[in-house]
Amino acid sequence: MELTFWLLDPSYTVVEGVPEVRLWGITDDGRRVLVKDRGFRPYFYVLPKREADLSKLKENILALSLPDHPILSVEEVEKKYLGKPVKVLKVTCQQPPSIPTYREKVKRLSSVEEVLEADIRFYIRYMIDNQVEPCGWHQVKVREVPPSEAKGFKVDAVYEALEPPKPLPPAPPPKLKVLAFDIECYSETGTPKPHKDPVIIISVVTNSGDKRHFLADGKDDRKVLEGFVSFVKEFDPDVIVGYNSNFFDWPYLVDRAKKVGIKLDVSREGTEPQPSVYGHYSIVGRGAVDLYNYAEGLTEVKVKTLENVADYLKVMSKDRRTMIEYTELYRYWDDPSKRDLLLKYAMEDAESTFGIAEKTLPFLIQLSNLTGLPLDQVVAASVGFRVEFHLLRHAYLEGELAPNRVERPYSPYRGAIVLKPRPGIHENIAVIDFSSMYPHLMIKYNIGFDSYLPPGEPPPDEGFYEAPEVKHRFKKTPPSLYRRMLEKLLEARAKIREQMKGLDPHSPEYTILDNRQQAVKVLANASYGYLGWVGARFYMKPCAEATAAYGRQTIMKANQLAKEYGLDVIYSDTDSLFVKYEEGKVEEFINRVEKEVEIELKVDKIYSVLFFTEAAKKYAGLLSDGTIDVVGFEAVRGDWCSLAQEVQTRVLELVLKEKSVQAAVRYVQDVVTKLRKGEVPLKELVIWKTLTKSFEEYEVEAAHVTAAKKLLEAGYGLEVGDKVGYVIVKGPSDKLADKAMPYIMVKPEDVDYEYYATRQVVPSALRVLRYFNVKEDELLAGRKQTSLFDFT
């Protein structure tokens, strides 16, 4: 029979010595199913040395075969390696776990140059080779496995694939069952530890409208764990989402369940959550998604707490949230009069998580489908790996072998051009930029690891492109794999955007397409950086270096033409030009540049008023709708206290919009006065900085590090990558590092308000106001003198 299903989660196992790929999915009629395929075998490639005798090598490899998990075959196949045709041996084995062993043995054979693609996970290999796509629809010929033989699989039906599934054209995903959860633990001393601290609450929200708590019995958490497990089994979610669940909830639940003797068998094959690739927890048959991974990509949110992210995504407003300090949680559990509040708080966490999932899953589903990484993995994988898996799919289709991942020393190269801005206020400025400059340059000059012509190699008849300055050469034909891949991505995006035009922006069709085009954009934009990443399989520095060099040439050309057209360039960074907007001239200029460099150029924004300091990468501009863009300034940097950010934002508003330096000065003076009187909430004085390495690795004493040490002493778990919130207090010495206190330990009377006045508020205001002759003294003096002139 034929079955149509949408692939949610791939896994595999070895049954009776045979590898079995397991495709967990949802059918077009809404049944949860498992499709098993025992027809696929793991393999790797052997690149022989040039002088090697292939038939001899074949024999030598086969001689390594062990009876328990044999080598099934060694065939000679034609492939390409970095664009060059090669004869390689494909070594097919019986069992995936034997691959690493055979790889090591084969590698040591004298006539072997390299072993390739031995480290690609079995079910990923299966999907690549059969063009099976995660989060995509497929059709497959199957035989149903009788229910009596399918016990232990928590699905509506189990099938055996008679041949590999075939992908179907893109269509909307099925209705997925989504469950969001969050746990609270009981700890009187800092971060809870699973060996001693129980789970007291698990709150759950589902998209069937269910919201409920599971509670511990006092400090006995057996009931809460059991309740949760049986609820998961009963609701049977396709996707389970948490927030920081990879680092907290799942490992904690697993440890706790073990400790109290409860089986956390929440997967669709009755197994526990397992730690897996990219630091994520996998639950077989479901998509376990940690939305913190998604939040890591939101650069606009500086401190990525659940509350902040939910607020930013308009899922749950921050000022309407029930907040309880982590240190206080246990008191709320112990005190019957406060417990309801704790339950409310816990539920709001689950609701926020659920809300974020609703908004982000459609995009993540598209990203999974496009890259070929399973949903749970694609969320956890970094940008580099997303690009890489997408690339692996292309490489396979074109017969290109994937190089091995090797450790390389960091090796930087020259990048883009940034011009110094013209400081001060400007009016009517257009920001013109090249669309997707790097991808288009790579296409135009056929850049790629397979088209690269190393020094000394004779050029082909068809000719080559030679990059400026760096002189790297690339064959003009055939089109590089990178070029074809990027063309596909850019075409796909253009097509999607065309389709979107006819649709209502609020319709589900529109949303799906929008998510798809965003996913495509992510990949296209990261493709240039990937080639210069020393961790990349397809690392090829000359490609990245040449692309950057062409980029410099292109923007320089545009700058030169702007001058010829009488356009005043005020600033330029990488692929953008800020020019005085003169309508006719700008259009003519754009046409000319497009003709010369063959890359689309467009007016991105027009600022009615724009402000620059002497510094590059910082500006603030007023748009016609009255909004102000702030770029690069302290106001958008997460390592300044929010009071200083607020002050700078307001100052920019007063200067750009109200055009009143005087009002800005008065405003700052008022804030300074208030600050000195202690009338500013402590919260606004917290400075957040990331702990980027372990304590021992720091070479100097930094404020956030000393604050972090104090947190650690008090029992709080802190890890590399965490943000430390501290406040500067009147300290034992003048050294700032000695005066930094974790904000949760600070009393308002301890605060060093002079620090905030002289090192936070006034500097951030002065960054702008000093261009209008405002002096530090004036701002610090409080409101006395009336000031100065306006620039208008």
Residue 174 is classified by DSSP as: P
Q: How many residues bind DNA (CB under 7 A)?
A: 68
Query: CB within 8 A of 621, min separation 6: which ones?
Result: 429, 605, 607, 609, 610, 611, 628, 629, 631, 656
Helix (H, G, I), strand (E, B) or coil at 528: helix
Give the dihedral of Cα atoms 756, 761, 766, 768; nearest 10 deg: 150
Find the angle CA(756)-CA(757)-CA(758) to the nearest 5 degrees: 95
Helix (H, G, I), strand (E, B) or coil at 265: coil
Is 737 near DNA (CB under 7 A)? yes
List the x/- string, 589-618, binding to DNA by CB under 7 A: ------------------------xxxxxx
For the CB of residue 180, give the shortest distance to DNA in the complex, in Å.
24
Is 709 near DNA (CB under 7 A)? no
Using the minimum distance from each CB to DNA, give the nearer residue, 213 or 552: 552
Q: Which span (240-248, 507-515, 569-577, 769-777) binds DNA, by CB under 7 A?
A: 569-577
CB 662 within 8 A of CB 786: yes
List the x/- string, 178-197, binding to DNA by CB under 7 A: --------------------
Q: Which span (29-37, 335-343, 630-638, 710-718) binds DNA, by CB under 7 A?
A: 630-638
Is the N-terminal amide bond of 478 cis, ω within 30° of 0? yes
Query: CB within 8 A of 533, min separation 6: which ones?
Result: 384, 539
Structure tokens that stand for 119 in this block: 């480290």
CA distance 8 to 178: 12
Using the minimum distance from each CB to DNA, give the nearer residue, 97 or 721: 721
For the CB of residue 565, give the shortest distance to DNA in the complex, in Å.
21
CB 99 within 8 A of CB 42: yes
For the CB of residue 264, give the shortest distance to DNA in the complex, in Å.
26
**From candidates 637, 674, 730, 747, binder to DNA by CB under 7 A:** 637
**From candidates 443, 548, 665, 727, binder to DNA by CB under 7 A:** 548
Nearest Cα to Cα of residue 42 among 64, 68, 72: 72
CA distance 675 to 669: 10
Q: Which span (167-175, 201-209, 393-401, 572-580) binds DNA, by CB under 7 A?
A: 572-580
Is 534 near DNA (CB under 7 A)? yes
CB 686 within 8 A of CB 724: no
Cα Rg for the chain, rounded, in angstroms? Answer: 30
Structure tokens that stand for 665 in this block: 């000065």
Is 247 near DNA (CB under 7 A)? no
Q: Which span (345-353, 411-419, 486-494, 498-506) binds DNA, by CB under 7 A?
A: 411-419
**From candidates 119, 688, 722, 750, binder to DNA by CB under 7 A:** 688
Is 719 near DNA (CB under 7 A)? no
Nearest Cα to Cα of residue 416 among 555, 532, 543: 555
Using the minimum distance from each CB to DNA, give the nearer residue, 95 or 377: 377
Using the minimum distance from each CB to DNA, give the nearer residue, 58 or 302: 302
For the CB of residue 634, give the shortest distance to DNA in the complex, in Å.
8
Question: Edge-to-edge strand order for the sheet containing 199-206?
Answer: 211-215, 199-206, 178-185, 239-242, 287-290
CB 388 within 8 A of CB 535: no
**From candidates 736, 745, 780, 788, binder to DNA by CB under 7 A:** 736
Structure tokens that stand for 42 in this block: 């793991």
Using the minimum distance from each CB to DNA, give the nearer residue, 332 or 607: 607
Query: CB within 8 A of 282, min separation 6: which ones?
Result: 11, 273, 274, 275, 276, 288, 376
Largest CA distance in the chain: 94
Helix (H, G, I), strand (E, B) or coil at 617: coil
Is 302 near DNA (CB under 7 A)? yes
Using the minimum distance from each CB to DNA, give the nearer residue, 92 or 613: 613
725 phi and psi angles, rounded to 5 deg? -100, 120
Is 529 near DNA (CB under 7 A)? yes
Using the minimum distance from each CB to DNA, give the nearer residue, 228 or 539: 539
For the CB of residue 539, give the shortest distance to DNA in the complex, in Å.
9
Helix (H, G, I), strand (E, B) or coil at 395: helix
Is 735 near DNA (CB under 7 A)? yes
CA distance 745 to 209: 40
Residues 415 to 444 in contact with DNA, rule: CB under 7 A: 415-418, 420, 433
Q: Which span (5-13, 251-259, 702-710, 741-749) binds DNA, by CB under 7 A?
A: 702-710
Consecutive H or E run containing 543: helix 541-564
**From candidates 67, 261, 412, 505, binder to DNA by CB under 7 A:** 412
**From candidates 19, 372, 542, 763, binder to DNA by CB under 7 A:** 763
For the CB of residue 715, give the shortest distance to DNA in the complex, in Å.
22
**From candidates 68, 78, 625, 699, binder to DNA by CB under 7 A:** 699
CA 732 distance to own-chain centroid: 41
**From candidates 99, 198, 704, 742, binder to DNA by CB under 7 A:** 704
Q: Which span (253-261, 341-349, 526-534, 677-685) binds DNA, by CB under 7 A?
A: 526-534
Tokens 């927030």 -> residue: 243
Residues that bind DNA (CB under 7 A): 278, 299, 302, 382-385, 387, 411-418, 420, 433, 525-526, 528-530, 532-536, 544, 548, 573-576, 613-618, 631-632, 636-639, 688-693, 697-705, 723, 735-737, 759, 763, 767
